[in-house]
Structure 1
Amino acid sequence: MLYIQFEIQNTSKFEDFQTLYNHMVKVRQPSFKFDDVGPEFDWDTMPEEEVEAALKELNTFLDQQVQPEIYRYKELIPRYAKEFLENYLQNENKKSGYFGEPDALSIFNYLEFGFEVDMDQLKKTNDSFGIVEFSTENYPFGGLERFIMTLAAYELKPVTCFDGFNTCKFHWMSPFEYETVISTKKNHFTKITKWISNSFVKKSFF
C-alpha cells in the first residue's frame, strides 16, 4: 500500500480535493464509461416552460463533447489550484530552459489516466492532517511528483510518504520545491523486488 500523509492547511480546499479524488476513483472502475449519449427529451409533449431549460442542458452536453477533457478539467479543478499548477509548470520549464506556455491540462490528463494506481482511501486522521492511500500492479506507475504537487495546489502539504521502496519525509524549500529524506527502509525493497519479479513472470506467459 502506497500512501502520502499531508497537513491540511485549508479545510474547504480539502473538501474541494475530495471532489477530484472521487472523480479519480470513478474513472478507474473497470466498467466506467464517459457519457457520450446525452439527454433525451420528448420535444413533442414537453411543456413550453420546460423547453428553455432542456435546450440549455442539451447545449451544455454538446459543448462537453467538443473537448471533453478540457470541460472536465475546468469543472473539477478550482481556479486557485489551476494557478498553482501553472506556476509550478512554469517554474519547471524555467529550470529546463523551456519557455513555452505552461498547460496544467497535462497534469489533469495524468491524474485521470497517467497515474496508474487504484485510489484506495482518502481521509482525515485529525483536524490538521490527512492521508491518501493507493495501490498499483504497475511499475513504474507514472511517478508521484505531479500528484504531490496536486495535493500542494489544494494546500494539502505532503509531510511523509511511502513510495513503494522507502518511507520518506518531505522538506519543503519553496511552494514548488522539496527534498525527501528516507526515514526507514525496513524490508520494503525486498517485498517490491519480489512483487516485480512475480509480475514479470506472470506477464511473460500471456
Structure 2
Amino acid sequence: MTAPRALDGLPCLECARPLLFDEANGWVVCATAQCVAMGMEMPLWRAARRRDAADPNPAGWPRPLLGGLPVPWITVVAAGRAWFRHLHGDRLRDCQTGWLCQVCGELLPELAWVVVTEEGHVVTPAGMHQRCRVLATSRCPHLQAAGRRLRDVEVTRERIISGGRPWAQVRSPVSWQDWTLLGDKLTLSTVNAHMVIHSPAARGCG
C-alpha cells in the first residue's frame, strides 16, 4: 500500500501547506497540526474545484493531452497532472443528468455510446459520442488491457437504469449513480460495434 504523499501544486486553503493525497481512495487531507482544517478529508476533485484558477480541463473537442494521453472531461486534473484513476464527481453527475459526453463534456445526441460488462453494468457510467468512444477505446489503458470482456453499445436514455431507477425518473441526485442497461443480459446481437477485451473494470482511465 502506498503511503499518502504531499501534493505540492495543491495547497490547503487555510494554511497554504501542501495537502496529503491518498491515491488508493482519491482523498486529500491537511496534516498540518496548527491548521484549522487539519484532518478534514475531501475527494481530490472537490479540493481541485475550490481553487480560483482557470479550468485546466475544460469541455470541448479536441481533448487536451497530458502525459501523452487525451484527458476526458470527467478526469480530475490537479497539481499539474491528470489523475486518470480518479473521476470528477460533479462532472460525472452532470454528464448523467444532462446527457453530456464523459469525454468532451458536450451534449450528446439521442443515441450515445456506453461501455458495458457482460452483465450490462456500464463502466464509467456516462455516455459518449461516436468520435469520443473511438478515442477512449483506442487510447485508454483500462479499455485496452486484457482480462475482461467489455462491449461498446449504442443506447438511448430509455435503456439506462440509474441507481436502480429508469433514467427519466431520476431527479437532481446529490452524486453520480451506477448505471446498468434495461433488458436481459447483453448478447453479441445487441452490440452495434466491436467487442474489446478489458482488465477488471476500474472507476477511471489510466
Same fold (TM over 0.5): no
The interval holding the TM-score normalised by the smaller chain is under 0.3
Higher relative contact order (CA 8 A, sep 6+): 1
| Structure having the higher Rg | 1
User: Could you tell me the TM-score, scaled by structure 1's length?
Assistant: 0.24
Counting strand residues as a fraction of each chain, which structure ranks higher? Answer: 2
Structure having the higher helix fraction is 1
